[in-house]
Structure 1
Amino acid sequence: MTFINRVSELKILGARPSGLSVIYGRRRVGKTALVKEFARRQKSPDSVYYSQAIEGTEALQIAQLTEDLTGLLPSVPVSSWSELLALLKTVSTKCTLIIDEFPYLLRSNSSLPSRLQKWIDHDRPKNFQLILLGSSQTMMHDIFLNAQSPLFERAGEVMHVQPMQYRYFCQKLGLNPDSLDTYLRFAMVGGIPKYWEFIDKKANIIELADRLYFEVGSRLEYEPERLLKDENIVGDQAKSILELVGRGVNRPSEIASRMGVKQTSLSGPLQLLRDASLIKREIPFGESARTTKRSLYKLHDHCLAFWFGCYSPHRSRWELYTAADKRRIISDHASRMFESDIVALFPHASRYWEPGLEFDGVRYASANGQEIIVSEIKMTKLTARDRDAIAKATEEKFLRSQLSKKFKAKIEVIDLAAGLAAMAKSD
């Protein structure tokens, strides 16, 4: 499939012709495709060396890397990182070395960051560019962004590769961005480019759900296990949290109650899942993340939300459902994703809730912070009369809210057509 987007990421990599750059992000988000496209665009592609780290012993890993560097290093036996780094010190030509899945190397030799720090500080050739990639977001954060790590601040660029937007999904697959059917497909896989390769455009929505999730041997049947393995998260507790959050149990107190544990015991596991970008914490608009006691947890992406919100609770009965039941389950999931995707279009926008009411999205209308825009989001086609009725009800609800004591508000109703049009334009 053709390479699309990642314009800013390619520009950043091209602006650093030497030194250390770090790229991390969840599996299948497109890190490898990004660096391979970067290599292809170089004036001398032959000067770029790519190596995929393997899981195994240190000896096997060094042998693999040495083989991938054939043509750059002299043909001499290499049995340790010290020997390999000493050889890299002698490289006199301008070149780029890309090591994919760098955390695999650390699992067999925890001293590698210290050795690499010395090489970067004292022995790295002037025209040598080193790019390190990793899917374990917690490990990459600890290695390069933890002040206690030997490699802290050694990278000139630390890039977190994010999922792509809806417009690129449509562009990649040649789908109509204004179609509900297109968005229902996107809602099942989200912005992970690798998943887009699994989309059969000829399949209807139910057939696609079957092939992605419900069939035996489906494409994404074991995806949560793979993501947890990448982050080295083991045990049943994390999976239980994901199951509960996916089924709509969002408050920490509710999660703890369902699991039969004290709420205080969940602080660590919740933070670990947040660091791994598997869940995210939401707080009501206008409140401080540090001081508020009101928070909800949501699954971080569309695939996980579908897996734990649709596949897991319904897989044992899926074949018994009617086509209408199946489409309703898929549509309900898509409606939740639609609300999240629309809110994400606006910087600093977030949901708002208090006892007895909630708003889909709230954001500041002006820089002075005195006026806000309250959004009601509906994944359906609305008539002018529908929009007026919803706007009136939302305004009445706003006047009952605590927000009305602090702000003036404009009411905004975003329906399917307006939402898809906005997403189709967004970068």
Structure 2
Amino acid sequence: MSAVLQVNGGTPLKGEISVRGAKNFVSKAMVAALLGEDPSELRNVPQIKDVEVVSGLLRLHGVTVDYDVEAGVIRLDSSDVETAHVADIDAHAGSSRIPILFCGPLLHRLGEAFIPDLGGCRIGDRPIDYHLSILREFGAVVDKRPQGIHITAPRGLTGAKIALPYPSVGATEQLLLTAVRAKGKTELSNAATEPEIMALIAFLQRMGAIISVDTDRVIRIEGVDRLGGATYTALTDRIEAGSWACAALATGGDIMVRGADQHGMMAFLNTFRKVGGDFEVTDEGIRFWHPGGELKSIVLETDVHPGFMTDWQQPLVVALTQATGLSIVHETVYENRFGFTEALRGMGAQIQVYRECLGGSPCRFGHRNFNHSAVVSGPTPLRAADIEVPDLRGGFSHLIAALAAEGTSRVSGIDIIYRGYEDFMGKLRALGADVQPLD
């Protein structure tokens, strides 16, 4: 039975909260620690489900994991890496897709790796073809079996020259985690350059890796025989910071997000201001608020960094239901990310989704029958409803809608939100939200 949250909406969210390290960096850096033969330490680590899942997977492989939750410090000692039982990996990974990134490090440390059937959020196919193709380029042998995929490297791993058809974050992470200890040199063209990727590169460099990044999305790695440990403080989760900013806008509130960093949020802050929100950057974080008056409709296209990231799109769409006029949103990163709008329409929002590329240049999803563009007409009052959380970001967006709506909503499946939002229940209450978990 999934967890249910009762939300009494219609009250502006006001107050202060703190945001810690980025889920999309911390979980990957924990995997990177597998490559080191000395202990590593990560700081500013959030207490989220993904950290728990990766910690469990690491322990299954013989890694000592010591997590001081209150201090936000996790220590990882991978000096005694061992092969884990297939059933244990499958049972612990659940719907997480993180096991695919274990492959490179485990091939270097053990000569083999196994990944179970992969789940993840239902926002698109998110195929692992890029990952398997990259591993093969390095010389890995991929054996698909009924219970998952077994990967070996009978001749070791050797550097390769690889060009990605799309700057995939996951594929770039896979290459980095595989190339740093491969023999020879590796070159990756059309690489992802998100702040979380650059932080992972910095962490690997501290461990002893040799990595350079060119301005034309080319990453070059010289493989080394050995990596040690490193200490690194995680960058703030810019997705969570943007989600709370959208909550302030949608509810007419005022939220100080301590820890939020301007540098990774430039595209978001520009859009937030265009819509009619206001913000103030300080040394402690960023304060976001609705200044009163009408919100403005916009034309928006998601893109890879430094563009407007896809994970900001869903919470912003909730705020756009309160903007005057027609807003057009073109999703170019995940093909099926507008599934969450069905629940919003049930709450009174006027949103139509289209297969065509609207509001920008044609993208790779054009003419492929994916509903990847949306037209949002507003402002429309939102009314309470019973909602089922579809995925992590869509789930938090539904929560924002329930908070903005008049009346009492029941949001089911909120367990998913714990994957990427630390203590979101405590933060909601700190902001004055009237929420109550139901048995």
TM-score (norm 1): 0.27
TM-score (norm 2): 0.26
Structure possessing the higher radius of gyration over alpha carbons? 1
Specify which structure has the bigger relative contact order, considering alpha-carbon pairs within 8 angstroms and separated by 6 or more residues: 2
